[in-house]
Structure 1
Amino acid sequence: MFPLFLWTALLGSAALEGPESRLLCTSPDLSISYSFCGGISHMLSLGVKSCLTKDNTKDDLYLFFVPKRDIIELSVAIQVWFKAVQVAKFTEPLCRGFDDEYSFCGVLKGETINITVPFSYRKFIFPQGQYTVLFEGISGRSNDLIFCVNATVILK
């Protein structure tokens, strides 16, 4: 029963993903492409300064986004899959509606969010292979999907 559910979920997310996959970056060590789910491709743009390598494990992610809903309360849910097995799943609240530390918290529907997020994977050691990472932004008040990005990461 569980394997059938897993394949249904994977094929269902691939169907939502659609054929339009965008290359975020590529290097001798890594390739990242992404597609949108939830019908928001015209409202979100992603970019990086350079693609990560074994020698360069720090980078900046650039995000340009025009939300269709107010961002008062926001959580991001992340799922990571490797060889058809979910290896990580967590949800992190980003905006609570009070004392928020991020500049995009409180942005109203139709306003522009243009942010740079530094990140690093230095602390993590991953086996080579293909990973599927699902990022979902969820409104805390209504549980509406604010954004949805399905990324494919290939570690060489």
Structure 2
Amino acid sequence: MTYPHTHTTPAPDVHAELGDARVATLGCWSPAHPYRSSLDGGTCAEPARAYEEDTGAAWLQPLGLAHALLETAHHALATAADPADRASVADAVARTRLDPIAGPLDRTAGPTPNIALLPLVGGQWHPEPAGPRLAVVDNTGRPEVPLTGDLVPAR
């Protein structure tokens, strides 16, 4: 569950149900991740806060991945021998090693050409007054990501 299924539901009982169930999931990005944008040096908390202010809804994990994709595109266009040539841009993407807001990405390391692996953390939805909060409960794959909660058994 990348984001709560209750994202578009204003019903407080549905929000409470998700948090009370203590659903555990994998986490790819959160405002607590320690990375910065390669474009402007912004922190992970900044786009999450901006999203919440603009939409009135909680931040979503795909925000960090979408931002990293834009950072990768910018990097490829800036480093391509000919940014107007598709093959040149594709080659630049394949050579990309970048530290975007989602964490270090290395498209040269594989497991296949032009693929970057993104280590994940363990998350769990915890009940909060404003709705469920995704807590980082295991950072084995990314020890630099701070833990923001404990793994709690379901009730």
Q: Which structure would you say has the larger Rg? A: 2
TM-score bracket for this pair, using the shorter chain length: under 0.3
Normalising to structure 2: TM-score of the pair? 0.22
Report the structure, 1 or 2, having the larger strand content.
1
User: What is the TM-score when the length of structure 1 is the normalising length?
Assistant: 0.22
